Amino acid sequence: MAFDGYTDQTLSRQARAAELLDAETELRLAYAWRDQRDEAALHRLITAYMRLAISMAAKFRRYGAPMNDLIQEASLGLMKAAEKFDPDRGVRFSTYAVWWIKASIQDYVMRNWSMVRTGSTSAQKSLFFNLKRVQAKLEREAAALGLVLDQHQLREKVAIEIGVSLAEVEMMEGRLAGSDASLNATQANDDEGREWIDALEDDGPQAAERVEAAHDQATLRTWLVQAMAGLNARERHIVTERRLREAPRTLESLGVEMGLSKERIRQLEAAAYAKLRRALESHAQEVHDFL
């Protein structure tokens, strides 16, 4: 199989020329690596199955990743397989390595499909790699029965077929529908077009709202100062200490300071609030909830 223009030529040539291991030789190399950490045995085992890794990497070229990168990920999966392979289980190394190679390539494809992580669960991975195939199969089956599935029906059947929720199918369809786009890209082809980020709605307060809010706050502050001026010195002190400090004082601490009981301080505070409320109500009806 040729990979001209897509893979490292030396690696491909070595893989095609690698020896084909029989079961006995493969087992002996696996034992040598596992029990003696024989790197020569590991290298021979890995080299013999690089052809398998390259073949599996080629099946994922349709996802747009560079072939060299796919081969590199396949190689990493092959090495993980060699590290974890247990020759005592009686399974051929190639059978065991297929799973690790495929998992390594799939993880790479999903990581690089979009800047937004496409998914990490087994259900999301199954959707990513099987959605289009399952959709096509279900549409063929429906057509054979003379039926036409609308998008909602198709999504429901896909969810049942793959064993995921309808919401996960809809989410993955949206992820696969388009590629990433920069918000700093211009809307027009010329350099003078505005960037897409300029078209985003600003959900913060608008200028008119900020001016109006600042005006209302200034008005309320003026009314409050005037209302506070109507209190006597003792009442102003209690209100200031109880409501206007960052760390409000307790009734007990004020009572100790002023030589009064805790209950008396509470009564003076209630009387001061009543005076403030009457003063503020004389200015505007909308400040009823201020205190």
Give the residue with greater pLDDT, 110 vs 56.
56
CATH code, domain with 38: 1.20.120.1810
pLDDT at 2: 38
What pLDDT is recorded for position 85?
93
- Do 101 and 170 reside in the same domain of the chain? no
Considering the entire predicted model, what is its pTM? Answer: 0.48
> Residue 104: inside a domain, yes or no?
yes
Please give the DSSP secondary-structure letter assigned to residue 206: P
Tens digit of each residue's pLDDT (9 = 90 or more) over 136-194: 888 888 888 888 888 888 888 888 888 888 888 887 776 666 555 555 666 666 556 67
| Residue at which a domain ends, from 113, 130, 154 | 113
Say which CATH number the domain at 211 has. Answer: 1.10.10.10
pLDDT tens-digit map of 250-291: 989 988 999 989 899 899 999 988 988 888 777 655 545 444
165: left (phi over 0), alpha (psi -120 to 50) or beta: beta
Instruction: Tell me if 98 sits within 8 A of 52, measured CB to CB.
Output: yes
Q: Do residue 19 and residue 109 come from a single domain? A: yes
Residue 5 has pLDDT above 60, yes or no: no
Instruction: Tell me, yes or no, whether 255 lies in a domain.
Output: yes
Find the helix packing angle between 67-84 and 39-48, rounded to 10°.
130
Is residue 195 one of the residues assigned to a domain? no
Q: Please report the pLDDT score of residue 138 as a whole number.
A: 87
Question: 138 and 60, same structural domain?
Answer: no
State both tokens at 106: 């799939």
CB 166 within 8 A of CB 156: yes
Q: Which residues constitute the domain of residue 95?
A: 9-113
State how many domains the chain has: 3
Give domain status of residue 182, yes or no: no
Q: Is there a domain that residue 140 lies in?
A: yes
pLDDT in tens, 28-70: 999 999 999 999 999 999 989 998 999 899 888 878 788 888 8
156 within 8 A of 145, measured Cβ to Cβ: no
Give the per-residue pLDDT at 3: 39
- Cross-strand bridge partners of residue 195: 186
> Based on the domain organization, do 13 and 107 belong to the same domain?
yes
> What's the whole-number mean pLDDT along residues 94-101?
92
Q: Is the pLDDT reported for residue 201 higher than 90?
A: no
Cβ atoms of residues 49 and 93 within 8 Å: yes
Q: What is the mean pLDDT of the chain?
A: 80
Extract the runs of DSSP E, i.e. beta strands, from 163-282: none
Cβ distance 159 to 174 under 8 Å?
A: no
Whether residues 104 and 169 fall in one domain: no
Q: Where does a domain end: 87, 113, 139?
A: 113
CA–CA separation, 253 vs 260, rounded Å?
10
From residue 100, how far is each of 16, 56, 73 by CA, in Å? 21, 11, 10
Residues 83 and 161 placed together within one structural domain of the fold? no
